[in-house]
Amino acid sequence: MPITIINRRLDLQEFRDYISNYNFGSQPANKLVIHHTWRPTKDKWGGAVSIQGLKRYYEGKGWPAGPHIFVADDGIWLFSPMREDGIHAAELNNRSIGIEVVGDYDNERWNGRTKENALGTIKLLMSQLKIESQNVFFHRDVSSKTCPGKDITKEWLFSELDDFRILPRIPGIPGVSRAMEGVVSVSAPIPGLTSLDDEVKIPVWSAEAVAWVHRNRLFEIHSDEDVRDAVKFYRFYKLMKES
Ligand SMILES: [Zn+2]
C-alpha cells in the first residue's frame, strides 16, 4: 500500500517557518522520539533517492506510515505528516513525532550539519509544541535496540540543547564562496566587539560584513536584525566598489 509522505527538504530557518504555520491537529504531538537510521549510514545518504528508498521500505513492511522526519547533513526531510501518528516506536507512536537522525551512532556522536540540524529540529519542536525534556524519548526506552545509538545519551543531548542557538537568517554576500556557508557559527568573531550578545551567533561568512560595519563605526550590532543590516550595507558597498 502506498504511503503518503511530504517529501520536502528544509533548512533550519525554513523548518521554523514551516512548523510555526503548521496545523498539528486537534491533539498535537506531546512527545518526541529520537532514532538513528543506522542504515543508511551518513556516507550512504543520497537525499531524495534515500527518501524514496525508505518510502519503499516502509511500504514493503505494509505499514501505513513511517517516522515524521529524517535529519541529515543536507537538511531536514519531512516524511510522514506530523499531525498524524507515525510508525516508529511501538507504544510511543501515539501523539509523538519520530525523528530519525541519519547515521550510525553506536560508535560516534552527531557531528557537522547533521548535529546542527538535529539539535535545531528538536529544540524548535519542543518550543512549538511545549514539550518538556521528560517527554523527549529515545527509541531504546521502549525497545531492546540501541537506537538512537549507544553514543547518544540524554545527558549529552540536553546539555547540547541548552547551548544550541539557531543562526539568524542572513543573505549571502556576492563573491563569498558558497562553500564558506557550510561553516557554522562563531559567537564573538570580531576582536573588540564585546557588545555582541551571546545570542547573536553569526555564520563565519558574514563576519566580514560585521567587522566592516564595526571598523567604519556605522552602527552597533546588538541583534540578528543588525547583523542582517550589516550584510546588506556591506553588499551594497562591495557592489559600488566593483562597478
Ligand atoms: Zn529507532
Look at residue 184 in the predicted model and tell me its pLDDT. Answer: 42
Query: Ligand 1: distance of its center to the CA of 191 in Å?
Result: 44
Look at residue 70 in the predicted model and tell me its pLDDT. Answer: 98
In this structure, what C-alpha cell is assigned to residue 120?
535545531
Q: What is the DSSP letter of 172?
A: P
Look at residue 236 in the predicted model and tell me its pLDDT. Answer: 84
Nearest to 45 by CA among 71, 80, 82, 66: 71
Query: Ligand 1: distance of its center to the CA of 39 in Å?
Result: 11
Q: What is the pLDDT of residues 24-83, one digit of tens each?
A: 999 999 999 999 999 999 999 999 999 999 999 999 999 999 999 999 999 999 999 999
Between residues 170 and 134, which one has the greater pLDDT?
Answer: 134
Look at residue 33 in the predicted model and tell me its pLDDT. Answer: 98
CATH fit for domain 8-163, picks 3.40.50.740, 3.40.80.10, 3.30.70.3270, 1.10.3720.10 = 3.40.80.10
Q: How far is CA 70 from CA 42, 112, 168, in A?
A: 12, 15, 23
Contact (CB, 8 A) for 66 and 73: no
Which pLDDT band holds residue 175 (cuts at 50, 70, 90)? Answer: very low
Which residue spans within the chain are E strands per DSSP? 8-10, 31-36, 69-72, 75-78, 96-101, 136-138, 185-186, 202-203
Query: Ligand 1: distance of its center to the CA of 138 in Å?
Result: 8
pLDDT at 109 over 70: yes
Domain ranges of the chain: 8-163, 178-242
Query: Ligand 1: distance of its center to the CA of 31 in Å?
Result: 15
**pTM, two decimal places:** 0.73
Q: What is the pLDDT of residues 20-35, one digit of tens each?
A: 999 999 999 999 999 9
